[in-house]
Chain A
Amino acid sequence: MGAAYLDHASTTPMLPEAIQAMTAQLGQVGNPSSLHAAGRRARRVVEESRETIAGALGARPSEVVFTAGGTEADNLAIKGLYWARKRPRILISAVEHHAALDPAYWLGDHHGARVELLEVDAQGRVHPETLREAISRDPDDVALVSVMWANNEVGTVQPVRVLAAIAHEYGIPFHTDAVQAVGQLPVSFAESGVDAMTVSGHKVGGPVGVGALLLARGVDPVPVLHGGGQERDIRSGTLDTPAIAGFAAAIETAVARQPETAVRLSALRDDLIERVRRAVPDVVLNGDPVNRLPGNAHFSFPGCEGDALLMLLDAKGVECSTGSACSAGVAQPSHVLLAMGQDGVRARGSLRFTLGHTSVEEDVDRVAAVIGHVVERARRAGLS
């Protein structure tokens, strides 16, 4: 029996539909920007993919700008909108992924931005009043607002539609990073009212290294990559036809299956939470208990080091994540948990289990069978 892979939020296996669509393109020649027949063939694949993605996500094809992944899309949205708007304040939630937070901080360090973090409550949620208050301190000075659709660590779903509406009252563009939400929650670009939305290929069963920034009409970020003028001059670089084809197939499949996926994964996830609680009675479930990603279960294990838990589980064939960023592989307490008001010690003793399209009951059984013993061991090792 292989390992129980419970780290789908970091990356999920490619869907057969995506593999097929992508591999069908790998042997083909043609730059979508070329004018000859080979180029036109490739261009057709790209444009059909664009239409597929737009259709699945409630957007118009012209609103889809392909990028080389979620990080690039976040960078383009935040840097590009900041530069285009020429106003100093960036309002961004304290629990964003580093792909969104770090470009904002970089603008603060090098380009005069004033980064203001939107606080979250103990469940990781940005309250509409928090945003309104932050904007109204000086509405004319705000370049953009960025709040993710759903948190990658603790799974909390943000009230994006309400938040976007508040930003729009003041005419401020609103960006959301939706890489974790697509395929797990109903996501409609148009209905959400956001102006810019980040989507990633490999989080939904497509290939790594491709993503998109959805941009509403009239929202024109300054480009980050300059060159051949592809993607209506917003994102230069030769379009990756095979990856885009695989990306579109993955989005189409994942979004079509989203309602049943949500039901199935929620049930598995609730079972996982229940059985972990039974084995470790003092475990703490982090994030919003109700408004959370169907595939996410994020725990703090008091008295344990997350790294020790991860290592012991790995040895028992359970693959999960501490959900925190590493540099030399040294875990730092998660900025998400700290923003939720947890102390550093508790934050270090946390683990994220994330389920996805290949998850089955046996994966949960595996966790349930070993978690009690593993936590006991990790507790003995204590907090170094």
Chain B
Amino acid sequence: MSGGVDSAVAAARIAEAGHDVTGVHLALSSNPQSYRTGARGCCTLEDARDARRAADVIGIPFYVWDMAERFHRDVVEDFVSEYAAGRTPNPCLRCNEKIKFAAVLDRALALGFDAVATGHHARLEDGVLRRSVDEAKDQSYVLGVLTREQLAHAIFPLGDSTKAQVREEAARRGLTVADKPDSHDICFIADGDTRAFLAERLGAAEGPIVDALTGQVVGSHHGAYGFTVGQRRGLHIDRPAADGKPRYVLSIEPVSNTVTVGPRSSLEVTSIVGERPVWNGPLPAEPYEPITCTVQLRAHGEVYGCRAQVSGGELHIRLDRPATGVAAGQGAVLYDGDTVIGSATIASAA
């Protein structure tokens, strides 16, 4: 229970359904003040208090579990080292994979519980993950990394409701978090300034911005990790490109600290390789022959028709039409309609 409206209503629903429910709030920082303050966060003292109050109102026991060390190691450090390696990680996805449905689930199972329920907006039917009925709030993408085993011990009570319905129900149940704003951004970056957060941990080192077409240095930056593939703003390029068109980040090379930019057309990719594939959907086995499905390449991103298959332990995806801004480190989640078939972490795209 994060202290937000979704997990509060999720807890209320399963308690009402007759499950023996215990509320758990995760302490993700040993110094909660250092994390985001105010209503948008998910790990402040205020959030812990909101979660406790919700549990009081629902009438379930409530505990804070200290996951600060695990979170720091598996999510925060992973986040920093992924950026340092020139990739663009999704920490929420990592948190689901390593904390909520690993560290927390393992502990819960050992302590005699059967499942972990969360307030994610996604449906789970017969162990298969589906998008929420509220497409705008759907979170199946950040759950796509979960294995069949993890999903077998997961409950998502909100998948059949829209966010508006959840808020309305919270108000009806007397939960004070009914009007609490949605959380956004990354919970462990207090001021929302990811670049400054990374600079503090990775240091600032000047490097070149190179135009892919001419090979010329067209600007400089203070750390390649501050960039994401597909980024257009904030490049501070000194001179206009030869073709007069805007420049986008095409690639990030951490070893030489080089950011390569080019025209939008160079961003377009149709072939994606993913590592660590997970098959958690209705398929009986890994597809060694190409299957026709759709793929989502970032949170709340567009969906592309594609053909996907596994070979050499990697997931190979061929898109039906070009995509732009495909960043290594993000998840590629495969869908059949609104059903999740599997996922992988994007390693490269061309």
Contact = CB atoms under 8 A, between A and B. Distances in A.
Given A314-B61, A328-B32, A328-B48, A377 B110 contact: yes
A384 B32 CA distance: 19
Contacts of B32: 327-328, 330
A307 interface: yes
Contact of A384 (B45, B61, B63, B103): B103
Interface stretch (B64-72, B138-146, B167-175): B64-72
A381 B15 CA distance: 24
Interface residues of B, number: 22
Interface string A300-333: 0000000110011011000000000011111100
A308 B64 CA distance: 10
Contacts of B30: 330
Nearest to A308: B111
B107 interface: yes
Nearest to B70: A384
Contacts, number: 52
Contacts of B110: 377, 380-382
A378 interface: yes
Interface string B12-24: 0000000000100
A307 B68 CA distance: 15
A73 B107 CA distance: 42
Contact of A311 (B22, B27, B68): B22
The interface residues of chain A, by DSSP majority, are classed as helix
A59 to B, nearest CB: 41
A330 B64 contact: yes
Interface in A172-208: none
A314 B61 CA distance: 9
Contacts of A329: 25, 27, 48, 52, 63-64
A311 B64 contact: no
B68 A330 contact: yes
Residue picked from B32, B64, B70, B111, most chain A C-beta under 10 Å: B111
Interface string A359-384: 00000000000000000011011101
A333 to B, nearest CB: 11
Nearest to A380: B110
Contacts of A327: 32, 45
A326 B62 CA distance: 14
B79 to A, nearest CB: 21
Interface in B56-105: 61, 63-68, 70, 103
B284 interface: no
Contacts of A331: 66
A377 B112 CA distance: 7
Contacts of B67: 384
B65 A307 contact: yes
A380 B68 CA distance: 20
Nearest to A312: B111
Contacts of B27: 328-330
Residue picked from B30, B45, B64, B68, most chain A C-beta under 10 Å: B64
A85 to B, nearest CB: 35
Contacts of A330: 27, 30, 32, 64, 66, 68
A183 to B, nearest CB: 30
Contacts of A377: 110-112
A311 B61 contact: yes
Nearest to A309: B111
B63 A328 contact: no
B64 A328 contact: yes
Contacts of A328: 27, 32, 45, 48, 64
Contacts of B65: 307, 384
Nearest to B51: A329
A381 B110 CA distance: 5
A142 B61 CA distance: 48
Nearest to A378: B111
B44 to A, nearest CB: 8
B257 to A, nearest CB: 38
Contacts of B107: 308, 381, 384
Nearest to A326: B64
B292 to A, nearest CB: 43
A137 B110 CA distance: 53
A348 to B, nearest CB: 10
Nearest to B46: A328
Nearest to B45: A328
B48 A311 contact: no
Contacts of A315: 22, 61
A378 B30 CA distance: 22
B111 to A, nearest CB: 5
A365 to B, nearest CB: 22
A381 B63 contact: no
Nearest to A384: B107
A233 to B, nearest CB: 38
B253 to A, nearest CB: 38
Interface string A323-355: 000111111000000000000000000000000
A380 B112 CA distance: 10
Interface of B: 22, 25, 27, 30, 32, 45, 48, 52, 61, 63-68, 70, 103, 106-107, 110-112
Interface of A: 307-308, 311-312, 314-315, 326-331, 377-378, 380-382, 384
16 contacts: A311-B61, A311-B111, A312-B112, A314-B61, A315-B22, A328-B64, A329-B64, A330-B66, A377-B110, A377-B111, A378-B111, A380-B110, A381-B106, A384-B65, A384-B103, A384-B107
A-B residue pairs, 7 tightest by C-beta = A329-B64, A381-B110, A380-B110, A330-B27, A330-B66, A328-B32, A328-B48
Given A311-B111, A330-B30, A330-B68, 8 more contacts: A311-B61, A315-B61, A328-B64, A329-B52, A329-B64, A377-B112, A384-B65, A384-B66
